[in-house]
Amino acid sequence: MDLNMNVDAPHSMGTTIIGVTYNGGVVLGADSRTSTGMYVANRASDKITQLTDNVYVCRSGSAADSQIVSDYVRYFLHQHTIQLGQPATVKVAANLIRLLSYSNKNMLQTGLIVGGWDKYEGGKIYGVPLGGTLVEQPFTIGGSGSSYLYGFFDQAWKEGMTKDEAEQLVVKAVSLAIARDGASGGVVRTVIINSEGVTRNFYPGDKLPLWHEELEPQNSLLDILNAPSPEPMNI
Amino acid sequence: MSKSVIEMPPKGGFSFDLCKRNEMLAKKGVSPPSFRKTGTTIVGLIFQDGVILGADTRATEGPIVCDKNCEKIHYMAPNIYCCGAGTAADTEAVTDMVSSQLQLHRYHTGRESRVVTALTLLKRHLFNYQGYVSAALVLGGVDVTGPHLHTIYPHGSTDTLPFATMGSGSLAAMAVFESKYKEGLTRDEGIKLVTEAICSGIFNDLGSGSNVDICVITKGAKEYLRNHLQPNPRTYTSSKGYSFPKKTEVLLTKITPLKEKVEIIEGGDAMEE
């Protein structure tokens, strides 16, 4: 372990972020770990940030860069909504994110997933990875933990899921990524956006399913030590 | 081979040319001058009535302790205080600057300052300097919307937390908070926990030491407990005291009242162009 860790190093959100459309809206999901090198600076961060009443963005990469980009886009969208006279569409929000990410591609290091619901197109998910591409997709994943989910989604994703199916898929996926990715952890946060509005959900770490070789959460390691040792094998 | 240099007019914004030059010099082995850092343990926590901030009081210049009792809890507004870790000059300058901006804002709006205002002003400034302003801050206060506690990192990212620690002693202090923090602490429990966390930093981190400063902010009131705990008193002091025999001798004393040099005219003409 590096004892000379620089606690003032730039923060990156190791992260697992997911955006999924379902029949009627979108579900955004994220873990909650913000790390500085090997130290977890915030174990309960909220990576799903509001841009407007009906559009949210999942942030990954550099914490500072993603916060500043989402602050600017929130401000532009607010002005845009006033000028337009009606709620902004998800496409406009995603394009504003893309314009900032692409024009400043040399200085920014942030991958974002924009998701929301508007009356023209319904629920939409847009991915804006490093470099500033804009891709509209039925589902998308991002962050360091996403590497472990590509195969899972190829198999588990299907068109026209219900709201609960979609949310359970997202929670399962984030918890799988948390199990395998060191830079993701903490709790799972989800945001469901549809015509009725926005619902925020929170799944604490001990409520998530356990995967291969994961241990039950313990109050104290001493409980494990004091457990009776297994019987010696009889040949 | 001809070299053509096109003179571009400066586009505004911070020019990072000198930063690149510093990096080049560092690669060549020229060490930068040492500057004063606050090694530091700074903490904040939210209790039932508001926010408690705590800090140690050691300032270091490389391996030397240059100030054994410095103040790391800076005033931002009557209801907002900010602890600073990192380069002492940077934390002082940035908190003074934002404190003035907040005062002007109070005059403009006629309202009490909000913690999120201070937060945004600080994070915008730090982001614009891309981490070169080495100030890591714990900002806490109570405003009309309630108690707030935020951490701000040199690159401009912020976190909102119920308890937070920063500085070189942050790991030691966070260990104390993670085991003992709970929601709805009373004022005395909160002060005790903050003192424990800072003491953990003081005794286990080389960059932190000396005394514990505490600041308790509640709705409508604040208490700045300077040197709330002094767990590192001077062990051996000479009972005889110290005498300094060689003084500067006074050779001549001459006092000239200024009235003799200046002529005061009563009334006079109004100034005209």
Q: Which of A161-175, B6-20, B43-57 has the lowest mean pLDDT?
A: B6-20
Is B153's CB within 8 Å of A63's CB? yes
- Is the ipTM higher than 0.90? The answer is no
- What CA–CA distance (Å, rounded) separates B180 from B163? 11
- Contact residues, chain B, for A40 at CB < 8 Å: none
CA A130 from centroid of its chain's CA atoms: 15
B 190-209 residues inside an 8 A Cβ radius of A: none
A32 is written with which tokens? 């909650």
A139-148, B46-55, B65-74, B228-237: range with lowest mean pLDDT:
B228-237
End-to-end Cα spacing for chain A? 40
Active site residue B40: yes
- CB of B184 closer than 8 Å to CB of B162: no
Measure CB to CB from residue B134 to each of A8, A34, A42 and give the nearest one: A8
Find out whether B95 and B136 touch, Cβ atoms under 8 Å: no
pLDDT in tens, B60-112: 888 888 899 999 999 999 999 999 999 999 999 999 999 999 999 999 999 99
Q: Residues in chain A whose beta carbon is closer than 8 A to a beta carbon of chain B?
A: 7-8, 10-11, 34, 36, 39, 41-42, 44-45, 62-64, 67-68, 71
Instruction: Return the bridge partners of B164, or none.
Output: B44
A120-124, A211-215, B123-127, range with the lowest pLDDT: A211-215
Say yes or no for a CB contact (<8 Å) between B171 and A7. yes
Query: What pLDDT score does A2 carry?
Result: 40
Q: What is the mean pLDDT of residues B167-175?
A: 93
**Is the model's pLDDT at B2 over the cut of 60?**
no
Q: What is the pLDDT of residues B130-161, one digit of tens each?
A: 999 999 999 999 999 999 999 999 999 999 99
- The two tokens of residue B246 are 């060689």
Question: How many whole angstroms separate alpha carbon B235 and alpha carbon B249?
Answer: 35
Q: How many Cβ pairs within 8 Å bridge chains A and B?
A: 52
Query: Helices A63-84 and B115-128, interaxial angle, to 10°?
Result: 120
pLDDT beyond 90 at A146: yes
- Alpha-carbon distance of B164 to B169, in angstroms, equals 12
Asked if the Cβ–Cβ distance from B153 to A67 is below 8 Å, we say no
Beta strands in chain A (DSSP E): 12-13, 17-22, 25-30, 34-36, 39-42, 48-52, 55-62, 110-118, 122-128, 135-137, 139-142, 188-194, 197-203
Crossing angle of the two packed helices B115-128 and B88-109, in degrees rounded to 10: 130
Are A8 and B153 inside 8 Å of each other by CB?
A: yes
